[in-house]
C-alpha cells in the first residue's frame, strides 16, 4: 500500500489544494509557453487570496497565465505589486505580501454586495498544491558549460 505524502505546511483553506503556483519575478519574461511542457499557456482570471503585511487579507481577481497540462498558474510579480500598491496607497514590495491560494469566484462576487468574513473566505479557499520557482538560464555560454 502506498503511503500518503504528508504536506510540508499546514493547510489554511478548507477546500482541497489546487494548482502549482509561480510568482514570476522576471519583468521581461511573460511565459506565453509553459516553462515545463512548452505548450501554449492560457490567460485566465483567478481570485487570489493574498495576505498583506499590516493589512487584512485581500481577494484579488487577477489575470494570470495557466497551463492545464502542468496545472501551473503564473502571476507576474510586477503587475501584482502595482495593483497592491494602488490598493494600499503605499509602495508594496515582494517581502510584504504572500499569495496563499485561490478563492471560489462565487464568494468573491458576493463580496461586492456585502462584506465577507475572513472565515467565509478561508472556507472557500484552495491552498496551492506547490509553490515553485524557475531560474532563467541561457545567453552566450561556452558549448561545454552546464546549463
Give the Cα separation of 66 and 48 in Å (integer): 13
Look at residue 44 and tell me whether its pLDDT is greater than 90. Answer: yes
Write out pLDDT tens, residues 48-74: 999 988 777 889 999 999 999 999 999
Predicted confidence band at 92 (pLDDT cuts at 50, 70, 90)? confident
90 is written with which cell numbers? 503605499
Give the Cα separation of 30 and 20 in Å (integer): 17
- Strand, helix or coil at 106? helix
| Residue matched to cell numbers 482570471 | 45
Give the Cα separation of 36 and 145 in Å (integer): 21
Element (H, E) at 90: none
Closest CA to 136 of 30, 20, 43, 21: 30
pTM, two decimal places: 0.81
Amino acid at each position: 500500500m502506498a503511503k500518503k505524502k504528508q504536506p510540508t505546511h499546514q493547510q489554511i483553506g478548507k477546500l482541497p489544494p489546487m494548482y502549482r503556483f509561480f510568482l514570476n519575478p522576471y519583468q521581461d519574461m511573460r511565459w506565453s509557453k509553459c516553462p515545463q511542457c512548452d505548450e501554449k499557456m492560457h490567460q485566465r482570471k483567478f481570485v487570489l487570496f493574498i495576505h498583506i503585511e499590516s493589512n487584512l487579507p485581500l481577494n484579488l481577481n487577477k489575470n494570470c497565465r495557466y497551463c492545464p497540462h502542468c496545472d501551473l498558474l503564473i502571476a507576474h510579480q510586477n503587475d501584482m505589486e502595482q495593483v497592491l500598491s494602488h490598493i494600499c496607497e503605499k509602495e508594496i514590495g515582494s517581502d510584504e505580501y504572500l499569495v496563499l491560494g485561490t478563492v471560489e469566484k462565487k464568494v468573491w462576487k458576493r463580496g461586492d454586495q456585502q462584506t465577507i468574513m475572513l472565515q467565509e473566505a478561508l472556507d472557500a479557499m484552495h491552498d496551492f498544491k506547490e509553490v515553485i520557482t524557475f531560474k532563467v538560464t541561457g545567453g552566450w555560454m561556452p558549448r561545454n558549460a552546464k546549463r
